[in-house]
Amino acid sequence: MKKSAIRFAALAVGALAVAGPAAADLPPLEMKERYKVGFPQMESNNPWRIAETKSFEDTAEGCGWDLVTTDAAGSAAKQVADVDSMIAQGIDVLFLPPREEKPLIPAVMRARAAGIPTFLVDRSVDPNVARAGEHYVAFLGSDFVDQGRRVAEWTLANFEGEEGIIIELEGTTGSSPANDRRKGFDDVMAMHDNMTIVASQTGDFSRDLGRQVMETLLQAHPDVNIVYAHNDEMAIGAIQALELAGRKPGEDVLVVSIDGTRDALQAIIDGKMGVTVESSPFFGPLACETMKRYANGEEIEPWVKVEDRIFTIENAADHIDEAY
Ligand code: GYE
């Protein structure tokens, strides 16, 4: 008993010595057998979110987590309240997927003030206000600008028409993937005179809203021949709207998006969708590994970057069985 307490103390001191001034400001994490871990999910209305929550649940036992999860049902305010209640319950570590870039910042600050190391997972917050290594430990996730850029480049290489008339379905307004996926794609397209984004509107990353927004935008822009959706759920919604209007996605409209869900891979196999750049929801193992490194006194890089694959007709069938 006594011996292990001394060992923990030595490790904690070691952590401060190795970590340097910025990281030393962050709440430390002691090495122990079990941790009370908070994962306040933002919503559970799509396969991506469900797969992510399941990944945390599947990781819990092996990583020694007593996992507390909540579902904010699409409300940033509820997600803030969920974090507050986790702080009150005395969690040791917080893995937070912030629904939007700004509203979750007070929750990040309160977790830090309460001495709880926080890792942002899958989405980030406004870097002008809250910073990795200072207010939270690190962001674990994909490069969303690059995802948008890769979709644009694939589209340029594979679009067979002369003039691209593009409708863009944006993700949740104010979320980091929506902001960055738009930037990555739009910046590339802006360099090509034959490509015009005629409308860009939010579908809140949801299949249903994606379909509704696509129905409306189709009326105003019947000549559309490219649809770029910020996630697969909205792409599937757009395909439904196009088919309902008598269009032939994959033939007269090129549909491109991001994530790599089972339905999207199936749509690619069926010839209705061109590409989806991967954005993996399986964060559990990476969260476990990063937390252990932090508890071990390692300095964590501000952005623990996830590498994304790309799925097209070339490989969709090889990956559909592992999809969600
Ligand atoms: O692409 C989308 C989900 O934050 C990376 O959020 C994530 C995105 C993902 O709802 O489908």
Give tens-digit pLDDT for 237-246.
Answer: 999 999 999 9
Pairing of strands 138-141, 303-305: parallel
Q: What is the pTM of this model?
A: 0.92
pLDDT for res 25 = 81
Q: How close are the terminal C-alpha atoms of the chain, in Å?
A: 44
The verdict on the CB of residue 48 being under 6 Å from ligand 1 is: yes
CA of 52 to the centre of ligand 1 (A): 10
Ligand 1 pocket test: which of 43, 46, 48, 286 has the largest number of ligand atoms within 8 Å of its C-beta? 48
CB burial of 106-115 (b: ≥16 within 10 Å; e: otherwise) equals ebbeebbebe
| Ligand 1 binding pocket includes 231 (Cβ within 6 Å) | yes
Q: How far is CA 56 from the centre of its chain?
A: 14
The crossing angle, in degrees rounded to 10, of helices 47-63 and 284-295 is 40
Does ligand 1 have an atom closer than 6 angstroms to the CB of 259?
A: yes
The pLDDT tens digits of the residues spanning 123-139 come to 999 999 999 999 999 99
* pLDDT surpasses 80 at 13: no
Which ligand 1 atom sits closest to the C-alpha of 144? 5
How far apart are the CA of 177 and the centre of ligand 1, in A?
Answer: 7
Q: Give pLDDT, residue 308.
A: 98
Q: Which helix (H) or strand (E) holds 213?
A: helix 207-220
Average pLDDT of the chain is: 94
8 Å CB contact between 152 and 184: yes
